[in-house]
Structure 1
Amino acid sequence: MTPIIEGHVKVSVIIPAYNASQYIRESILSAIGQVNISLEIIVCDDCSGDNTVNIVKQMMKDDSRIELLVNNSNSGPSFSRNRAISKAKGDWVALLDADDFYHKDRLSKLIDIGEKHSADIVADSVFYVNEAGKNPVAAIHQKKTQQPLMRLTEKSFIKNDFPSNAGFKYGYLKPVFRRSFLMAKHIEYNEGVHLGEDFMLYMECLLKGGVFLLMGDAYYYYRYVEKSLSRTGDNTKYMELISNNSLLINLANALQKNDAALLLEARQQNYHELIFYNDVVKLIKGRHIIDAVKSLVLNPKVWPIFIVMMSRKITAAYMRAAIK
């Protein structure tokens, strides 16, 4: 266990907040309740229109470790995280969304692992919970033969996060980062990115040589709300994600990470397959059956995407039922 040194901040908990009054108190309390670790809590409010700021200010009166930043204009979570991280004093930076919460042992366990194994990024599994924070279901089901601690590589991270894959994506992890690593490698959130910003940051860490460890146990509680892009049929979101992925391909090429670049290009193709899937579904829903059949006949290579998307729907339905 890492010793606690008086006056020294081991970890800075970063909480971006926007209209989070329903959950922000529970989120902050879960950070305050961390055991065997010295910390500070930096909340960055993005011009909330509810009572979020007042709740945080009230909590600040009872705990001097809480700091509040308020943006001048609504600038998005990436800006808020960057601003909070720039103020951080901790050896480590921990992410926490304003509607989620920690187990009391989380930060001490993750940071002990990070320091013992000289890691730059450490994450745990995630518990999905319902809106009341109850009925936890582990997002990553560990096999008995799997090591309790595994290193995520560029390849394993990209392969897990192909957009059509069913199951939990590593981009949803909420790691702790060694702050000196982020500073030395000049890594921060891309403030022009509004979808998949976490995946992009984690990939940049890996491409720049970060040691990323994942432990099998879950200590992070994530309020599960299904956000299925395919369900909405909104291809504009996929086009934005394609643009983001192109930035990663360029970075991988610039760093001469050829294998990672090839996998990212395959990931790009998967996005185009999902766009095709959405287009066919729209034709079917619009009762343009002949046009839908023609599209399928002319594009047999993308038939497997329909099987994959059915698997995703089944997985999502199971998750909703499990946490009710």
Structure 2
Amino acid sequence: MSLISIITPVYNSEKYISENIRSVQNQTYAYWEHILVDDCSNDSSAEIIKACASKDQRVKYHRLEKNSGAGVARNRAIELAKGNYIAFLDSDDLWYPEKLEKQLLFMKKNGYHFTSTDYDIMDEKGIKLPKYVKCKPLVTYSRALYKNPIGCLTVIYNVDFFGKQYMPSIRKRQDYALWLKLLKKTNGYGLNECLASYRVGNPSISANKLDLLKYEWKIYRDVEGFSFFKSSFYLVSAIVLKLKSYF
């Protein structure tokens, strides 16, 4: 049976982390490890996670020596991971009970190594909002350059195929940079079923949209190594696509 390592960065998530861990413990697929890396929280997140870990050895707590951002926390968790597959779930987001079982079957049945799913949106109180995000059935590297089409909370990648793959050392948009790296080796595939819930409005995760564009520029220029003009083309394209999504 394949072990799935679930990667969760944590920073001041005391309001959500118990529910987050329960959504993993409620999975119909039970062969997993949940690695939660604390980015130096100053609330009760650590105590809550440790209490869960004391009752379930699959829940594992680690703490960074200094506050370094979600990307560094995720990479530390990946270093510690022992699974055949890596999955991502941020500390304020949730999974539906059949998420791992259905997605892993989808991957194995079709020989896919990098997949995502649909997800819905909830507010800070967990109330479902009318917005629903459908994943793309097929994602190529060239298509993904225009806009990140993949929700981090839905991703699973095959470690046996890729090896352990890490996020670049930038404070934001590290997940997008990792997807581009994976897409250079194989396409991404989407399971069009809602298996996760993304929480909006958490200040420890959410960020100013203009600030995020700065990090997309860093991905094009520093991570992908594109020229100034090629980077400008993709950044403008990303802005246009984001504006269209609001109208």
Normalising by structure 1, report the TM-score: 0.67
Matches of 2:138 and 2:81, distance apart in 1: 26
* 1:22 pairs with 2:1: no
Matches of 2:59 and 2:106, distance apart in 1: 25
Name the counterpart of 1:244.
219
Pick aligned residue for 1:266 from 229, 233, 239 = 233
Alignment of 1:84-123 (within 5 A): 84-123=77-116
Alignment of 1:272-291 (within 5 A): none
Count of paired positions: 242
Gaps of 5+ in 2: none
The alpha-carbon deviation at position 210 of structure 1 amounts to: 2.4
Normalising by structure 2, report the TM-score: 0.86
Name the counterpart of 1:172.
151
The alpha-carbon deviation at position 308 of structure 1 amounts to: 7.3
Distance 1:141-1:238 versus aligned 2 partners, 3 A rule: closer
Matches of 2:114 and 2:134, distance apart in 1: 21
Which fold has the larger relative contact order, with Cα–Cα distance below 8 Å and residues 6 or more apart in sequence? 2
Matches of 1:12 and 1:269, distance apart in 2: 36
Pick aligned residue for 2:73 from 50, 74, 80 = 80
Distance 1:105-1:205 versus aligned 2 partners, 3 A rule: same
Name the counterpart of 1:196.
173
Equivalent residue of 2:172, what SS?
coil
- Return the letter of the residue paired with 1:58: A
Distance 1:201-1:108 versus aligned 2 partners, 3 A rule: same
How big is the alpha-carbon RMSD for the aligned residues of Structure 1 and Structure 2? 2.7
Gaps of 5+ in 1: 143-148, 162-168, 254-261, 275-304, 315-324
State the Cα deviation string for residues 54-99 of structure 1 (Å, max 9, x = none): 0011111211111111111111111111111111111111100000
Equivalent residue of 2:79, what SS?
helix
Equivalent residue of 1:78, what SS?
helix
* 1:157 pairs with 2:133: no
State the Cα deviation string for residues 240-268 of structure 1 (Å, max 9, x = none): 43122113442x79xxxxxxxx9765213
- Return the letter of the residue paired with 1:188: Y
Name the counterpart of 1:55.
48
Name the counterpart of 1:67.
60
State the Cα deviation string for residues 262-318 of structure 1 (Å, max 9, x = none): 9765213447xx6xxxxxxxxxxxxxxxxxxxxxxxxxxxxxx6x974x5544xxxx
Name the counterpart of 2:196.
220
Matches of 1:133 and 1:308, distance apart in 2: 25
Matches of 2:150 and 2:223, distance apart in 1: 14
Matches of 1:211 and 1:201, distance apart in 2: 13
Matches of 2:88 and 2:97, distance apart in 1: 15
Distance 1:308-1:70 versus aligned 2 partners, 3 A rule: closer
Name the counterpart of 1:229.
209
Distance 1:263-1:123 versus aligned 2 partners, 3 A rule: farther
The alpha-carbon deviation at position 37 of structure 1 amounts to: 3.6
Higher relative strand content: 2
- Return the letter of the residue paired with 2:166: E
Distance 1:182-1:17 versus aligned 2 partners, 3 A rule: farther
Matches of 1:28 and 1:204, distance apart in 2: 28
Equivalent residue of 1:170, what SS?
coil
- Bigger Rg, structure 1 or 2: 1
Contact persistence 1:182–1:188 (CA under 8 A):
no
Matches of 1:313 and 1:197, distance apart in 2: 24
Matches of 2:191 and 2:31, distance apart in 1: 22
Pick aligned residue for 2:132 from 115, 122, 139 = 139
Equivalent residue of 1:210, what SS?
coil
The alpha-carbon deviation at position 127 of structure 1 amounts to: 0.6
- Return the letter of the residue paired with 1:213: Y
Distance 1:221-1:86 versus aligned 2 partners, 3 A rule: same
Equivalent residue of 2:133, what SS?
coil
